[in-house]
Amino acid sequence: MTFVQLIDCRTSRFDEMDRLMDTWVEQTKGKRTATHAVVGKDRSDGSHFVEIVEFPSYEEAMRNSGLPETERIFRGMVALCDEMPTFTDLDVVRDEQLDTDVAREFFEQAGRSGTAELFERFTEDYVDHDPANPGDLRLAAAREEYEGWRKSFVFTFRVDDQIAQGDRVCTRWTWAGKHTGDFLGIPATGQNVTMTGTTWHRFRDGRICEGWWQYDRAGLMEQLGVLGD
């Protein structure tokens, strides 16, 4: 996100305006350049609404404004407003995804930090979901599992991609390690191994309270020589 447009309006006919915006979304499929839109209602004035629309750039916003569908919807929007809406164009100069930063720090520190320091990012009632385990793990068991990985491998994570939605952050990662200790009964091989995966983290009050893991454990076992050709 590098550009945001604020649309400030007053209307007593928001339901009609809401349907008008639905029409624009439908009509501009495959054409629009807006990536995210949020509408907020003033708690102290029920007729006051602000729409926040995100774009990849100012140029993309102008291209979006030039769509004939946008022009038609704008005229309809003006007709529904009690007064002329105002527009504010903002270049984004600071964009912090706070939960995303916490998730990124977790992966970047996972191969370096001590267990206590790493798990300061987690709530006491954390729940871990991993299909490789017979059931969900609570915080103490998740810490123990992590320590087991640290005893078996010297490893690092590389964060490849992240997206955030509401209280959840999804991280696509690449794990690289050297097998230096017993792992699931497999003696240390000294083998360099890699693995890719995706983790969803749910946040509460800035800390991780739930995690869902999907990763290529079969590929890891093959690299360790456990699975046949």
- Cβ atoms of residues 95 and 1 within 8 Å: yes
Q: What is the pLDDT of residues 138-190, one digit of tens each?
A: 999 999 999 999 999 999 999 999 999 889 999 999 999 999 999 999 999 99
Counting DSSP H helices and E strands in the chain, the numbers are: 7, 10
**Domain residue ranges in the chain:** 3-91, 98-224
Question: What is the CATH topology of the domain spanning 3-91?
Answer: Alpha-Beta Plaits (3.30.70)
Confidence (pLDDT) at 1: 59
> What number of CA atoms fall less than 13 Å from residue 118's CA on the CB side?
19
pLDDT digits (tens, 9 = 90+) for 82-114: 999 999 999 999 887 899 999 999 999 998 867
In tens, the pLDDT along 115-145 reads 888 999 999 999 999 999 999 999 999 999 9
Structure tokens at 90: 């903002």
Class at the top of the CATH hierarchy for domain 98-224: alpha beta
- Tokens standing for 191? 């083998």
Q: What pTM does this model have?
A: 0.76
